[in-house]
Structure 1
C-alpha cells in the first residue's frame, strides 16, 4: 500500500490482484485509491474533466475509486485509442444496461489518453461493490449457477438490442471525435480496422495474423510443408464463402469479448450480479463474436470445428446449434464438459430470447474462420513471456502440434 497527498487529502493506493513476481505482462495495472476524507460536490472534477466525453460527475461523499493504467508494454495492444475505446464502450454499456434494477457498469470520472505526449493512459472510475463471481462459482450448486446465468443472459440481451449511435459505422474499436461523438476506430486488441463488415473484419485480422506469423522465427509464416499456400488460398477465395449463410451479417452491437466469471462481481447473499468489469478487449462486432470470445468456464464458448477426435466438444457444438438431448450425456472424463451447466446456460439464453448460436444461421462457418485466425498466431508459440520460460523443445513441440491442427482445419474447410 502507498500513501500520497493530493489536494490536502491523503490517498491510500492499493494494488488489486497484482503480483510483482508474475512472469507475464499485465494488460492493465489496477489500483484502489482511498481518500482519508470524502469528496464534496464538484470537488473531484475540473471544468475540463466535466467536458470529457464518457464521464460522469463524482458523487458527493465518495471515498474510494479504481484507477486503471493500461500497460503500454502489453502484447499486441494498440495504445492510440485504447483508453478512448474502453471509456466509449463503458458509456454505451451503461446506457444499454441502465434499465436493470442493479447498476452493473462502473461510471468513469476521468481519463487520459496514451496517444498524447505521455505514453501512459489512465482511467479513474467507480469502485463497484461485490465479490468476484469466480471465487465461488465452482462450488455453487446448479440453482445458484442458474441465478447467475439468468442475469448474464439479461445483460447480454440488453447489449445486443441497444441501438448504437449513427456515428458508429464500422466493425472494430471506438474513439471520440472533436465534438465528443463516439465514432468507429482501430480495434485495440488488433491494431487494425475499423472495417465496413463482419467479413472484412476477419479478412483484415487474418492479414495482420499472417504478417505476424511471417515475423516469428518459430512459425516462419507457416511456409513449411506447403501450409502457407493453403492459408493464402483460404483467405483469398474461401473466406467469403464462409459468410454467405451467416444470418443478419450486418448486425453489430457492443461486444464485451471477455464476459466471464472473473470479470463479474456479485453479492453472495442475494446472488445478484453487482458489476461487469474490464472492457479492455471490448469492441463493436456481430453478436456471434461474443460467443467466440466469452463465457469460457461459465456456459462455454462456441468454437470452430474441434476435430473429429474430440467427441465432447463436437457434441457440445451440435447441441448448441440444435438443442440439448434428454437425458444429458455423461462427461468422458472428470475435466470434461459440465453438461448440466451448459444446458442451464442455454435455457436462460432461450428464455430471454438472446441471439445465440442456435438462432444464428451460419455461425459455425464464421466460427471456423475465427479458429483459423487463432491457429495462425497461437499464444503458446508467440507470447514472448512464455517463450522465455518454456524450453525450446516444448516450444517446437507446440509448433508441430499446432501445424497439425491447422492442417486438419484446412482439410475440413476444403483447402
Structure 2
C-alpha cells in the first residue's frame, strides 16, 4: 500500500476548506507528482485546482507578507501545496514561511534582472499548526500561480546537445539572479527565513535541521554534523558510532572547534539565497518554445554560503559537487574544462559538454562558481563527513530491509574507515 494514501480524502477535505476561506470553488482537483506505491512519506502534497470562477485581486483582499495579487483578469487555475509534517527529517517550525519568503526574494531579483517571471507568485499561505491542530487541517500550505510546462528532467535526455546547452544558458541567468537576491537587513544569520509578526523577513530555522538560525557558518556546519550524529544514535546498525572509540574522536573534534579550523581558509562571511534543491526535476520546460517556464520547490531554500547550492543540487547537469559528478569534480573545482577526459561513455561525454557549458554560462552571468570559492575543498570535506556519519541507506528502515546482514556490515565498515581517514586528515587538534 502507498503510505501516502492514508489521509488522501482528508487532505481533499482540507483543501476544500482552504478554498472556502476565499469563496473559491473547484471544478477539478488533480494531484501533481503523486507517485503510486512510494514507501516514503511525501514532503508535500501538491494539487492543481481548476476553478469555477476566476480568482481576482479582490479574492485576496487581505494581502499577506510575501504574496502577490493575481492579474486583474484573474486566474482559472492555481496550485495548492500542503506541507507534510510527517515527512522524514524535515523541520516544520517555519517551513512554509521560509518557502514563501525565499520565493518572494527570488521573484524580485529575477524581475530586477529583466528575466521572465519563472518563480510562481504566491497568493496566500498558512503556517504549519500540526500537531496543535490535529490532522490535515493543521498542515501548512501555499496557494500559488499555476505555471505551464512539463518536468525538464524527463525531457532533458532527449534534447539535442544544442538545445540542452541553450537550456543551461537560460538556467544560468536565473541562477545568477537567485544568487544575487538582496538579503534583507533583518536577516543576519545562517540558516533559513521566516516572517515576523510585523511581516518582515527575518532569519529562521533551516527546513532540514532543527535549531538555529546560526550566527556563523562554522556554527551552522557544527549543528549539521551533530544532527547527523543524533540520527546515527537512532540507527540500530550504526549505534551512534560508539563502538571502537569512533564517536569519542568525532565528539572531541567538534568540541575543540574542529569545524572552525577546517574552514580557516574559507570566506565564511559570504551569504546568499540558495534554492537548496536546484535540479532538473524542479524545472518546467515548454518544448514548443524551448524555454524554461518555471523554477519550483523552494522548500529547502535558505540563506547560507554560496557553496551550499552546489552541494545540494545541480548534479544532474554536471554542476554539483556530488559523487555522481566524481569524474568532473577536478574541472568543476578548478574551472578548467579545456581538456575532455578520455574513456568517457557517450552519456558521460554529453554530460561533460553540458557541465562545461554550465560552468561557462554561470561565469558569464556573473554568478559565483565553485572555482571562485577559496577553500571550496574544505567545505566539500565537511559535506563528505556529513554524508558518512549517517548514510540514508544505513539508517532508513525501508532501505535496511533491502540489504542482507552481510551487505549492511560491509557498508558500515566502509563508512567507519572513511570517517577515521577523514579525522586523520582534518582533525589537527
Q: Which residue of 2 aligns with 1:255?
A: 274
- Indicate which of 221, 236, 244 corresponds to 2:240: 221
Tell me how far 1:215 sits from its aligned partner: 2.5
Is contact 2:115–2:174 with CA below 8 Å preserved after alignment? Answer: no
What's the CA shift string for 1:194-250, capped at 9, x where partnerless? 011111110121122222222322111112233223322332343212211113x21
How many Å separate the matches in 2 of 1:29 and 1:397? 37
How many Å separate the matches in 2 of 1:277 and 1:15? 16
Q: Which residue of 1 aligns with 2:250?
A: 231
Q: Which residue of 2 aligns with 1:22?
A: 38
Tell me how far 1:371 sits from its aligned partner: 1.5
Q: Which residue of 1 aligns with 2:5?
A: none
The 3-state SS of whatever aligns with 2:207 is coil
How many Å separate the matches in 1 of 2:159 and 2:341? 21
Tell me how far 1:333 sits from its aligned partner: 5.3
Task: Give aligned pairs, total.
Answer: 403
- Indicate which of 113, 121, 124 corresponds to 1:110: 124
With over 3 angstroms needed to count, the CA separation of the structure-2 counterparts of 1:179 and 1:40, relative to structure 1, is closer
How many Å separate the matches in 2 of 1:160 and 1:40? 32
Tell me how far 1:408 sits from its aligned partner: 3.3
Tell me how far 1:82 sits from its aligned partner: 1.0
Structure 1 window deviating more from structure 2 (343-352 vs 61-70): it is 343-352
Q: Which residue of 1 aligns with 2:334?
A: 322
Q: Which residue of 1 aligns with 2:262?
A: 242
How many Å separate the matches in 2 of 1:356 and 1:45? 40
Q: Which residue of 2 aligns with 1:76?
A: 89
Tell me how far 1:30 sits from its aligned partner: 0.6
> Which 4+ residue blocks in structure 1 deviate beyond 6 angstroms?
1-5
How many Å separate the matches in 1 of 2:70 and 2:310? 35
Question: Do residues 45 (structure 1) and 55 (structure 2) align?
Answer: no
How many Å separate the matches in 1 of 2:128 and 2:405? 35
Aligned residue runs from structure 1 range 88-103, under 5 A: 88-98=101-111, 99-103=113-117
Structure 1 window deviating more from structure 2 (71-80 vs 58-67): it is 58-67
Is contact 2:315–2:321 with CA below 8 Å preserved after alignment? Answer: no
Q: Which residue of 1 aligns with 2:353?
A: 340
Q: TM-score normalized by structure 1?
A: 0.90
Is contact 2:229–2:389 with CA below 8 Å preserved after alignment? Answer: yes
Is contact 1:264–1:274 with CA below 8 Å preserved after alignment? Answer: yes
How many Å separate the matches in 1 of 2:400 and 2:347? 27
How many Å separate the matches in 2 of 1:244 and 1:8? 55
Is contact 1:257–1:293 with CA below 8 Å preserved after alignment? Answer: yes
The 3-state SS of whatever aligns with 1:63 is strand
With over 3 angstroms needed to count, the CA separation of the structure-2 counterparts of 1:342 and 1:40, relative to structure 1, is closer
Structure 1 window deviating more from structure 2 (176-185 vs 231-240): it is 231-240
Q: Which residue of 1 aligns with 2:394?
A: 381
With over 3 angstroms needed to count, the CA separation of the structure-2 counterparts of 1:400 and 1:134, relative to structure 1, is same
What's the CA shift string for 1:89-139, capped at 9, x where partnerless? 111111111133311111111111113643311111111121211111112
With over 3 angstroms needed to count, the CA separation of the structure-2 counterparts of 1:325 and 1:132, relative to structure 1, is closer
How many Å separate the matches in 1 of 2:374 and 2:56? 53
With over 3 angstroms needed to count, the CA separation of the structure-2 counterparts of 1:141 and 1:8, relative to structure 1, is closer
With over 3 angstroms needed to count, the CA separation of the structure-2 counterparts of 1:95 and 1:40, relative to structure 1, is closer
How many Å separate the matches in 1 of 2:108 and 2:24? 35
With over 3 angstroms needed to count, the CA separation of the structure-2 counterparts of 1:123 and 1:244, relative to structure 1, is same
Tell me how far 1:375 sits from its aligned partner: 1.4
- Indicate which of 187, 193, 206 corresponds to 1:187: 206
What's the CA shift string for 1:264-297, capped at 9, x where partnerless? 0122133221111001111110111101111021
The 3-state SS of whatever aligns with 1:138 is helix
Q: Which residue of 1 aligns with 2:380?
A: 367
Q: Which residue of 1 aligns with 2:3?
A: none
Tell me how far 1:391 sits from its aligned partner: 4.8
What's the CA shift string for 1:323-367, capped at 9, x where partnerless? 335441134556757322221111112222321111111111011
Is contact 1:76–1:191 with CA below 8 Å preserved after alignment? Answer: no
Tell me how far 1:32 sits from its aligned partner: 0.6
How many Å separate the matches in 2 of 1:293 and 1:56? 29
Aligned residue runs from structure 1 range 145-184, under 5 A: 145-184=164-203
Q: TM-score normalized by structure 2?
A: 0.87
How many Å separate the matches in 2 of 1:198 and 1:171? 6
Is contact 2:156–2:164 with CA below 8 Å preserved after alignment? Answer: yes
What's the CA shift string for 1:147-195, capped at 9, x where partnerless? 1111221122112222211001110011111100001011121112101
Structure 1 window deviating more from structure 2 (373-382 vs 62-71): it is 373-382
Is contact 1:81–1:115 with CA below 8 Å preserved after alignment? Answer: no
